[in-house]
Structure 1
């Protein structure tokens, strides 16, 4: 089954307009973070989310702007040295940022809170990283118990390249919750015809996407167009191999959406025509395993 299209706001130029159109077109998820658009993205979304209470929102804790860092220092949840780092998973900061996210988004209960690139928290110190993730998960379990968070997870760029695995994250969530009834619900990672490893691994029945899917976790594929660079790298011949009649951009989106285990593909489509073109692509039947494997083989060949 093809994954559903969701709005990602990292590179979105016109967030309120894009969010309104995506929601009106049937998108069920919008993804954001407190540091996007120089710290303004969440407030930009609040009006759309108020008008569309059934649209789910995923946000993050971890990275923050200089202004947010200064506010965290004033609130006593970060030291000046911690604020200068621009990233933190300190328990006090996580709790404070969740409350701030709720206020900025206008949501009493956040559908999903993701630790934002947690691998950045402790360079090379695996024990320190695991401790930080477990402590952040513990805060998010408390927030879930209070009704402020429905679920949590990890949004990473390269954390699954060796920093952690899905089974490890599940084990840390179990420890944080004090038992198997935890609220770990999702992972987010890049999946594209540039970042092909997750697709290749999933086709072989292994890797983070497959592990997350087998555990019943939501899998959000970020950067399906690799920051907008991918369509220029894919010619029409390859697009036709993926699915005849699609543009290169549509073909790239369909390939990511066809990765076994992916549940949402995040796209920063600022205009209505771009969103509709992408929606038309994911409305296509998913590529079968043989076709998707052929595409990755073609791209992997010298």
Structure 2
């Protein structure tokens, strides 16, 4: 498969321990956000990133850690209303939070994702919100606060609020032909199969990202740990004979056209090794993926 396993820190009970484990097992990427682990995830990664300088890291901007809201208000980067609301993509806040993330992480993030831009967005305003965010992100790139940026969304693509061509158009408007939009992150799993089905037919966010040269980060590949209990022996046999439900589920995600990185949240070395093995196997054929879609639907 062309996909690689990366550590997602959203559900990690001990972010530092999980990151050290993953890095020691050869992980290339760890994904985090300022609001993860009660606002302590970035700080927990500082020592790990120093010990493994080759480990790439992505963070996010949008959701406001409860412990940082009052600091942002005092700094003039947040309004009291935005701090209370818990999510903000105002340019001043983006600039402030990214500079803060760089300091806390101890180095320049390789990617900064706009985190769920659809969150509490009034009707008709998503395009303007994304454009203003991209302008701020391009400025952060020019100041070497971040290396590149992307969009991490839970339902932005599935709801039709935006698509990859729109993101590319807005990035070019914000940063010109040499803009720094490099990636998208979205849920792909046996529960969220629509992107896989669309990609098999040559359209949708995975196919569009592949055509545009954007990296795709697949989030929630086990749907918060629910999938192993949902995958029947018959389904596992169809996907990957002799493999566990987790291995079969991850094989589907890693085989989806366009997926570059599969983000798994775990601090268990055995779970990580099994997952890495599943992701590292040869890709499932399009025919197998189509049969999975036919059985489960989208």
What are the Cα deviations for residues 43-68 of structure 1, in whole angstroms up to 9, with x where unaligned?
A: 01111011001110010000012221
**Alignment correspondent of 1:105:** 105
Distance across 2 between alignment mates of 1:122 and 1:224: 26
What are the Cα deviations for residues 195-228 of structure 1, in whole angstroms up to 9, with x where unaligned?
A: 0100100111100011011100010000000000
Q: Structure 1 residue 167 and structure 2 residue 169: aligned?
A: no
Write out aligned runs for 1:183-194 (5 A). 183-194=180-191
Q: Structure 1 residue 154 and structure 2 residue 158: aligned?
A: no
**Alignment correspondent of 1:242:** 239
Shift of 1:131: 1.4
Q: How many residues align?
A: 297
2:39 touches 2:66 (CA, 8 Å); kept in 1? Answer: no
What are the Cα deviations for residues 184-204 of structure 1, in whole angstroms up to 9, with x where unaligned?
A: 000000000100100100111
Shift of 1:104: 1.2
What are the Cα deviations for residues 81-116 of structure 1, in whole angstroms up to 9, with x where unaligned?
A: 111110000000000000111111111x21000000
Q: Structure 1 residue 14 and structure 2 residue 14: aligned?
A: yes
Distance across 2 between alignment mates of 1:249 and 1:170: 34
Q: Which TM-score applies when normalising by structure 1? A: 0.96
Question: Secondary structure in 2 aligned to 1:185?
Answer: strand
Q: Relative to structure 2, which stretch is displaced further, 232-241 or 212-221? A: 232-241
1:89 touches 1:121 (CA, 8 Å); kept in 2? Answer: no
Distance across 2 between alignment mates of 1:288 and 1:170: 29
Shift of 1:121: 4.5
4+ runs deviating over 3 angstroms: none
Shift of 1:147: 1.7
Question: Secondary structure in 2 aligned to 1:66?
Answer: coil
What are the Cα deviations for residues 108-161 of structure 1, in whole angstroms up to 9, with x where unaligned?
A: x2100000000115232x2x2211211111111111112221110100000012
What are the Cα deviations for residues 227-266 of structure 1, in whole angstroms up to 9, with x where unaligned?
A: 0001100012211211112100111011101000000000
Write out aligned runs for 1:116-265 (5 A). 116-124=115-123, 126=124, 128-160=125-157, 161-177=159-175, 179-265=176-262
Question: Secondary structure in 1 aligned to 2:67?
Answer: helix
Q: Relative to structure 2, which stretch is displaced further, 14-23 or 52-61? A: 14-23
1:58 touches 1:111 (CA, 8 Å); kept in 2? Answer: yes
Question: Secondary structure in 2 aligned to 1:123?
Answer: coil
Q: Structure 1 residue 33 and structure 2 residue 30: aligned?
A: no
Question: Secondary structure in 2 aligned to 1:159?
Answer: coil
Distance across 2 between alignment mates of 1:290 and 1:171: 33
2:21 touches 2:267 (CA, 8 Å); kept in 1? Answer: no
1:230 touches 1:252 (CA, 8 Å); kept in 2? Answer: yes
